Amino acid sequence: MDTATHVVMGIGLGGLATLDPVVSQSSASMQTVMVAAIIGSQAPDFDTVLKLKNNAVYIRYHRGPTHSIPAVLLWPLLVAGVTYGFAPEVSFFHLWIWTFLAVFLHVFVDIFNAYGTQALSPFNKRWMAYGVINIFDPLIFFAHILAFIFWRYGAPPGQTILLLYGVLILYYLWRCMARNKVIKGAAQFHPHATHFFISPTFNWNRWHLVIRTKTKMYVTESRNGKLRYFESYPFEPIPDDEIINKAREDRNLAAFLSFSPTYRWMVKELEEGWEVKFIDLRYRSKGYYPFVAVVRMHADLTIYTSYTGWIYSDETLEKKLKQGEKLSS
């Protein structure tokens, strides 16, 4: 989920903690738990700082180690430990419990969007991405805001947030059933498909869908239960080609391939050499595929610039590649 949603979820858990008699016995305990819950709800995304290094490192590690099983156990200890240092009169166990719930909830809800996490790492490093909820879901965010308004004007926080989360559990269950219905409908037309890569949109009745068979990849959209086809591409392993093999040594393309499960590629000859471009098919938006990796090489296959990330115009991509060229020169 996005940062704002994780913040309101942290506040929500702080309100829910008032149902804990050990926490609710003093304002100091409630305030300390609230602070720890908000920080804990953000902690797994502290890896966003990797963007300061470069996109390749960020894409390879974001929602990876910081969302893993060891991290879910370590973040609460770290956050609760630091917070406890400012309020030693608070029960450390109860402070840790509510911080753990905040961290766990963060990682858990991230599983349900199309980006996903490596939540089972290090035991299983596959990306868990169920494609049920959008990165930013207006209903989830504004339902929290509405609950906070009721809380502000006298509603008991614990019961209010408990009711909110009961409603959101039903919402998640409904979205899971809607997702499964879309995949089931697509499977009727492609009974031999090997994978369905699904992404939700702001419109509850509209879903992005990439259908992969043993020989083809279909980029489609499900709208009100009807499947609409945009493009199709052959599905085949990345060729053992000298140009592509050299491009795969680049860190940007390596990061892209570590994250993207469904893509197409193209090799284009340029005046000064070659361009290798990989495009993730899952994020089609207004006819454009924004998540890409591009590697450019001289005729002797020396890489002189590359880029990976989300780009929404060819002009912006060219600017990024020229910046990379300046940095490497």
- HSE-CB of 184 using CA atoms within 13 angstroms: 6
297: confidence class by pLDDT, cuts 50, 70, 90: very high
What is the reported pLDDT for 47? Answer: 77
Phi and psi at 328, nearest 5°, equal -85, -15
Mean per-residue pLDDT, 89-100: 96
For all residues of the chain together, what is the average pLDDT? 91
212-260 confidence digits (pLDDT tens): 999 999 999 999 989 999 999 999 899 999 999 999 999 999 999 988 8
326: confidence class by pLDDT, cuts 50, 70, 90: low
196: confidence class by pLDDT, cuts 50, 70, 90: very high
Q: Check whether 58 has a pLDDT greater than 80.
A: no
What is the reported pLDDT for 153? Answer: 95
Distances (CA, A) of 138 to 1, 120, 259, 314: 11, 28, 26, 30
Q: Check whether 106 has a pLDDT greater than 90.
A: yes
Mean per-residue pLDDT, 130-146: 95
Question: How far, in Å, CA of 137 to CA of 114, rounded?
Answer: 13
Beta partners for residue 270, in sequence order: 273
Domain extent listing, the chain: 3-110, 242-328
328: confidence class by pLDDT, cuts 50, 70, 90: low
Q: Check whether 191 has a pLDDT greater than 70.
A: yes
What is the reported pLDDT for 51? Answer: 67
Question: How far, in Å, CA of 237 to CA of 16, rounded?
Answer: 50
What is the reported pLDDT for 63? Answer: 78
Question: How far, in Å, CA of 63 to CA of 68, rounded?
Answer: 8
Contact yes or no for 98/37 (Cβ under 8 A): yes
Q: β-strands 226-234, 303-310: how paired?
A: unpaired
Contact yes or no for 121/69 (Cβ under 8 A): yes
| SS3 assignment, position 39 | helix
What is the reported pLDDT for 258? Answer: 86
Q: Check whether 278 has a pLDDT greater than 90.
A: yes
Strands (E), the chain: 195-200, 206-212, 216-223, 226-234, 263-270, 273-280, 291-298, 303-310
Mean per-residue pLDDT, 67-71: 91
Peptide bond into 122 cis (omega under 30): yes
129: confidence class by pLDDT, cuts 50, 70, 90: confident
Pick from 282, 322, 259: nearest CA to 56: 259
Cβ neighbour number for residue 272 with a 10 Å cutoff: 11
What is the reported pLDDT for 295? Answer: 95
What is the reported pLDDT for 329? Answer: 54
**Per-residue DSSP letters for 59-110?**
HHHTTTGGGSHHHHHHHHHHHHHHHHHH-TTS-HHHHHHHHHHHHHHHHHHH
**Position with higher pLDDT, 144 vs 62:** 144
Q: Check whether 187 has a pLDDT greater than 90.
A: yes
